[in-house]
Amino acid sequence: MRRIGGFLLAMSMAIVATAGVAFLLYKNELGRMRDAASRGSVVAKLDIGPIEYADSGVGTPLLSIHGAGGGFDQGLANAANFVGEGFRVIAPSRFGYLRTPVPQDTSPAAQADAHAALLSKLNVPKAVVVGVSAGARSAVELVLRHPDKVTALILIVPGLYSPTSPV
């Protein structure tokens, strides 16, 4: 019986030690990723509030709207995967992601208005708009609310359904 108790104690200590090491590695990696994500972007002061974005490349303007789990960095990565050279990629961080705060109105319509305001601030009259996953809702709203700002709309794995929204 003593051997079983000793074995269980040793296993418990090993599990706790392994969990502690995993937590420290996770915390370190998360810090590195946050540090990397904070580079390469700026925060635009708009009438609707601050919006973080990255602006990369030269050519046809392309607004890359990320889904869940990222920010401007994900928008840049998505664009890099889907388009070649010849595009000016503008990748905002949506409300609540990275350095873009959460405003009172977090609706896709309000986010679309923020996208339009950012394009205006950057003197971009029209852009190809790419909405990925959860970013598709505000991309569609941008087309509906500001059709003059959109050259083309591309939706990738769009997360559009909401029981309270007609979009």
- Rounded to the nearest integer, the mean pLDDT of the chain is 89
| CA distances from residue 159 to 46, 112, 167 in whole angstroms, order as listed | 27, 15, 10
pLDDT at 166 over 70: no
pLDDT, tens only, 17-28: 898 888 888 877
Look up residue 91 and give its two tokens: 């990748």
Closest CA to 86 of 58, 62, 56, 63: 58
Q: What are the E-state strand segments in the chain? A: 42-46, 49-56, 60-65, 87-92, 127-132, 150-156
pLDDT at 69 over 90: no
pLDDT, tens only, 84-143: 889 999 999 999 999 999 999 999 999 999 999 999 999 999 999 999 999 999 999 999
Residue 83's pLDDT is 84
Give the pLDDT band (50/70/90) at residue 35.
low
At position 70, the amino acid (one-letter code) is G
**60-65: average pLDDT:** 97
Closest CA to 68 of 159, 152, 148, 141: 159
Query: How far apart are alpha carbons 54 and 75 in whole angstroms?
Result: 9
Domain range annotation of the chain: 1-37, 42-156
Residue 167's pLDDT is 52
Cβ neighbours of 73 (radius 10 Å): 21
Between 29 and 62, whose confidence is greater?
62
Note the CATH number of domain 42-156.
Answer: 3.40.50.1820
**48-73: average pLDDT:** 94
